[in-house]
A and B are shown apart, each in its own frame.
Chain A
């Protein structure tokens, strides 16, 4: 999920603690700040600290002027081969291709388990908002393919887009059956995304403040881990006891607008409800059903109806069904 969804979930978790609301009413914002900060902390650790110290065995650095998809595919295939012979995980980093202050050359990597090959396609130039620049696609169909020396087992998406800021990392790890496991972003959602690490932070909070702070910290941190588990990548939930990420539930993707907005909105409503029920002496009275009707069903329903009215005519003008994927292969429909 997006940072704001994790953050507000942490604040929401804090709002369930009566002492947090009580302290806030008396002018002490500590528990809510802790809830939010620890709600976003697992990703902060990964993206602002750990990834800069994560070492790689190979770096793929495409030429900005003349990116060669075959070279990229060959380097990836070589990394897979090395993973088989080295007897340890091999980490490879795909660097992004910066074309200017706001422009990046996109390229797409796909591991095709069926044909045991890796495919790379050079895409358009995109801006930092990942919007393609018109007519910036390479003139030739720039696709590179390389055969892999072992069958590949994927735990995440088969296709990875490389475009803005920091490129992705893959870790290849050979197993006893001679296959190679592909781990996407091995530095992410690993040790930092563990309930035991949450407990460690809680212990630290207890030492620094009190047990109430510890509860808020563990609740905020754990809310993050549970939300992430709804996605595809999963997390290493019990590090250091476990060494690998548990598979996600595949219910949503981290960048999807609707689940993210729903999490934020629901958190806001629950915070509001908790403040209402834990604040004495209020003039107005309502129940949870009122809140849900006025706060969720009515506005979201109104948005849905207007959205439907505005887009219902588009059904007949939908884009033609794509019969080829990004690599020109025929897609089954």
Chain B
């Protein structure tokens, strides 16, 4: 395509104006536009079926409309999310739209604009007299969207949308003022690495800039923390923002090579990013002599093959060079000698996504958000037993209680909150008493947890903390690369001890062993995987010791989660005669009919999956769960056909 001329800012203005016109034409189109959230999570909730439903209904009713795919708004509880732009109405956001609801929307609203279907509506995206707006909800009001501002609103596969929203303006300005200015600006903003450790990005860049060799910049999208998915969302929903951040970082350190490292488990993210890179090249935002500034950069995508340890910088570099992803001792730090011995900067997706906003608005603006030592926002994936799970972007310094109770609607089904697991396998479980902890890099470290990548799992009274510690240790043990003995063998012993406690074979003196091994693993490991692996064990021991004791001394699981220590039975008083709901759902045929035509569970056959609890109609609610299993009362149960069967035999 024909490239504009002039300075970077002038050239970008031409690109931006063209993009603005294209997007405006779309906005003004007389045909309604249906936008469906099609990131991985939306697809899992059935977004593609929703699109098929819209297509079918539009064709059947002879209605004309354009269907477009957008990214993820972060409101996962309401997926599939649909935005409808109908001429004369504000853009309206609808929740939980399946193919059936799609048909209703087409017939009642899209056909003639008569009924905007309030029953599915969340609100209008823009303030309007006739509709509630999103800002009327706490979930939207308390959030501060900097990095996720455009997520779910723009088409990630169309660069014009990003350009029209002011995209790449920061890059043009950076190109004009030079890399050193970008570096100073980010340094002044005190942008701390969002990958978990919180090391100031500007300082890291400065170290690399001072080494006189070809420099490399890598975007770390190897989000391996089970329970966190904000990097995936950013890559899928606003790839150009990450890319712009990467180019700015490359400019700041004067890099000659740039790479995205994205895990192979995120095929959609890889695909969208490759498209974004091609689109940026086409407009001379990448490649040779970017926007006529003389700065040249090529960006590649490398697919990680799934190893948690590769989130560690030196392991990531080792994996890029075609080896097993094993970390090496530091120094030398990658910023001095990394990939192929060249100075290498590795920044997290969220860190790079924040850079364009800082350059656009200035470092003073950035300091107005968040706390003094941790300026800016933090993105959390709040999941588990919470009313409104999803991605939340809040200013640093917000308390956990505010985040969980006010923004995410508190614990699901009115149950009691027990713990908040923060930071994934390297983080810790914080009890209710620490909910007033402010979320920033330093406060969390003080209570034994860490920011990590921002996974936040809400646990209610039905979650066993010993079992959670066992789960995380099992994970880190499987992901330990095996280089350091303490990490390799130590995590194994931790896991075995925790396992024996969860099946009721733990001994009291093993609690001391747990502490001792944990301390040794922290001391004897090279990288953060080993250094933080015992955190879940140590925090649960510290805050939930009574649960460990109950498992060991009473063979009882207070949360009634550990299956060896729990049993299910049916309360014959509550059970309804003739109802077969639980029988039909039991995967092992453990439920039989009793002599008085009620139901009972054969403990030999029961695998304790809990399915009958859900199947039992709420008006009976007859299935009970007890721990220890000896608590099952003797109800004098007799199988119905035992007598009849023996008669036949005679």
Query: Are A and B genuine complex partners?
Result: no
